């Protein structure tokens, strides 16, 4: 069986029948990495020997009829922000010492191992995951498999590029302002930021209430299966939620026809590329024809960028203040500016921004008493030229200026997913974002599944 285009769900079905083995799937993923990663630069570490050892152990479990999880043997990667025993976690930074003991697994890494997934390696990130594209002076520029002259997005751009290119079926990223959804949209895959606390984090993120981890996959079913794995509890995160009732792999098939949805094409203040707008509107029309009751209406808030900037830059500054002396000369110049900006804000500024964040969450909670789901574009633009922090010639000053649909919902801590909606005339993917009330991860996945069924999409 040729597994080059199989999803994770299809892989495990093939394992169960014996048509395919985890070793064959892992060898295939490693072959695609060898063929495509020089162009995409999605990985900063590939552990071929370790991956094949894990795959052989999974093969024995499947042969004996004893898989240890729904995704046992699926080739997977993790962003280089998650601690991983035996692998350095440099977070794209020259300021982190590679030669130290790496003997702790983050909750994400631990859950993947416990459920038998095959860890291929670690994917690229901008330094400390600070921006919406993926490049750093340590590993270079990560590019979009759909068009390598274009950015993959970020900060989980390595994970998105890996999944989109077939370098493993699954990955896990982090999302503090859109870092799972931005590259998912640009690369044409599914990327989900679940409710804050749904996936336990350790160490605690300096970005606090903004910080999430999220599954990245080529199908909604795979996203749900991976979220089931990642949602298992871990005592090291005091903000972690209780385990969900039921499973996401079952909830994804919930019938959502008849739900009340709101479509906001621009949140009331965003300039959207006309081609992107048309693609998203066509997908919304398809959802309406499939049975959602959709009203075109804005949620009713103004751009919270100023408050987000305070929360983001103070978190970065707190983190960087702990770095060794002289780090100012080694870090990304853009990150250094964020560090300097964060140092200018007072405790009162931070508390004021946090109060604005809370008020935005209350407003969205009230909005969702009338609308079960909010639909927006994921990004207002398609992927732009790689190697730039902002679209060339745009005059924009920073990455939040071109990601206005994502960071507000980090502030509100709501679940949000990007799912492919189509592609531009030049073949660049375009994502649609679904946002649900806090704790409605199952609903968001179910609506995403409906869109996937009525408008099938393959990123390759």
The domain segmentation of the chain, as residue ranges, is 8-454
For 251-294, the pLDDT digits (tens) are 999 999 999 999 999 999 999 999 999 999 999 999 999 999 99
From the list 41, 161, 158, 57, the residue with the least C-alpha distance to 115 is 57
> Is 122 one of the catalytic residues?
no
In the predicted model, what is the mean pLDDT of residues 80-102?
A: 97
pLDDT tens for each residue of 332-359: 999 999 999 999 999 999 999 999 999 9
Contact predicate 405/176, CB 8 Å = no
pLDDT range class, residue 4, cuts 50, 70, 90: low
Give per-residue pLDDT as tens, 123-179: 999 999 999 999 999 999 999 999 999 999 999 999 999 999 999 999 999 999 999
Helices (H), 259-391: 274-289, 305-320, 333-343, 347-367
Give yes or no: 159 in active site.
no
What's the first-to-final CA gap in the chain, in angstroms? Answer: 18
What are residue 427's phi and psi, to 5 degrees? 85, 15
Q: What one-character-per-residue DSSP string does 28-89 give?
A: HHHHHHHHHHHHH--EEEE-HHHHHHHHHHHHHHHHTT--SSTTTT-EEEEETTS-BTTB--
In the predicted model, what is the mean pLDDT of residues 240-251?
95
| C-alpha–C-alpha distance, residues 384 and 39, integer Å | 17
Q: Does domain 8-454 have CATH number 2.60.40.10?
A: no
Q: pLDDT tens for residues 402-441?
A: 999 999 999 999 999 999 999 999 999 999 999 999 999 9
From the list 9, 77, 93, 155, the catalytic residue is 155
| pLDDT number for residue 3 | 58
Q: Which of 9, 77, 79, 131 is catalytic?
A: 79
**Confidence band (pLDDT; 50, 70, 90) for 5?**
confident
Contacts of 372 (CB under 8 A, 6+ apart): 259, 260, 261, 436, 437, 440, 443
Respond yes or no: is residue 179 known to be catalytic.
yes
Q: Is the pLDDT of residue 457 over 90?
A: no
Count the Cβ atoms, other than its own, within 10 Å of residue 413: 25
Instruction: Supply the pLDDT for residue 169.
Output: 98
**Rounded-to-integer distance, Cα 195 and Cα 231, Å:** 10
Reduce the DSSP state of residue 375 to 3 states and report it. Answer: strand
**Predicted pLDDT of residue 460:** 44
- Whole-number Å distance between alpha carbons of 161 and 147: 11
- Look over the chain and give the mean of its residue pLDDT values, rounded to a whole number: 97
Q: Which residues pair with 421 in a beta bridge?
A: none
Identified catalytic residue from 179, 185, 219, 440: 179
pLDDT in tens, 291-301: 999 999 999 99
Strands 135-136 and 373-377: unpaired
Q: What is the pLDDT of residue 34?
A: 98
Report whether pLDDT(215) > 90. yes
Asked whether residue 189 carries a pLDDT value surpassing 80, the answer given is yes
d(C-alpha 8, C-alpha 15), whole Å: 11
Give the model's pLDDT for residue 458. Answer: 65
Peptide bond just before 155 cis, omega within 30 deg: yes
pLDDT at 172: 99
Q: In the chain, pLDDT over 90 holds for what percent of residues?
A: 98
Query: Please, how many CA atoms are within 13 Å of residue 276, restricted to the half-sphere of its CB?
Result: 22
């Amino acid at each position: 069986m040729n597994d080059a285009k199989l999803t994770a769900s299809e892989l495990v079905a093939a394992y169960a029948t014996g048509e395919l083995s985890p070793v064959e799937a892992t060898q295939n993923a490693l072959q695609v990495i060898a063929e495509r990663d020089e162009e995409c630069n999605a990985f900063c570490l590939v552990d071929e020997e370790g991956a094949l050892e894990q795959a052989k152990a999974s093969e024995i479990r499947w042969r004996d009829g004893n898989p240890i999880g729904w995704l046992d043997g699926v080739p997977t990667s993790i962003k280089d922000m998650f601690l991983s025993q035996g692998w350095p976690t440099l977070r794209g930074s020259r300021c982190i010492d590679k030669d130290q003991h790496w003997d702790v697994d983050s909750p994400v890494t631990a859950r993947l191992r416990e459920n038998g997934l095959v860890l291929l390696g670690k994917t690229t990130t901008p330094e400390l995951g600070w921006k919406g594209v993926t490049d750093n002076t340590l590993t270079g520029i990560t590019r979009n498999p759909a068009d390598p002259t274009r950015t993959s997005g970020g900060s989980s751009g390595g994970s998105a590029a890996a999944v989109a290119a077939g370098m493993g079926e699954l990955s896990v990223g982090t999302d503090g302002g859109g870092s799972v959804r931005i590259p998912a949209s640009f690369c044409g895959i599914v990327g989900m930021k679940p409710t804050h606390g749904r996936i336990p984090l350790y160490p605690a993120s300096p970005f606090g209430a903004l910080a999430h981890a999220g599954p990245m996959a080529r199908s909604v079913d795979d996203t749900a299966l991976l979220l089931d794995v990642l949602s298992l509890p871990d005592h090291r995160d005091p903000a972690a939620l209780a385990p969900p009732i039921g499973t996401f792999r079952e909830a994804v098939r919930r019938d959502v026809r008849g739900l009340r949805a709101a479509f906001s094409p621009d949140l009331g203040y965003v300039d959207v590329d006309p081609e992107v707008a048309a693609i998203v509107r066509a997908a919304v029309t398809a959802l309406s024809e499939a049975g959602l009751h959709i009203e075109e209406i804005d949620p009713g808030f103004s751009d919270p960028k100023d408050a987000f900037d305070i929360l983001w830059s103070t978190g970065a500054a707190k983190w960087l203040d702990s770095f060794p002396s002289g780090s100012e000369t080694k870090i990304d110049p853009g990150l250094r500016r964020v560090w300097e900006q964060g140092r200018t804000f007072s405790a009162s500024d931070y508390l004021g921004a946090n109060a604005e964040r809370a008020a935005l969450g209350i407003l969205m909670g009230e909005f969702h008493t009338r609308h079960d789901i909010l639909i927006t574009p994921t990004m207002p633009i398609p992927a732009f030229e790689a190697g730039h922090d902002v679209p060339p010639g745009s005059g924009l000053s920073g990455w939040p200026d071109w990601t206005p649909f994502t960071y507000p919902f980090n502030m509100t801590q709501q679940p949000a997913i990007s799912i492919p909606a189509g592609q531009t005339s030049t073949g660049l993917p375009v994502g649609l974002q679904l946002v649900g009330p806090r704790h409605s991860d199952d609903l968001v996945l179910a609506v995403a599944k409906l869109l996937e069924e009525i408008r099938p999409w393959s990123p390759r």
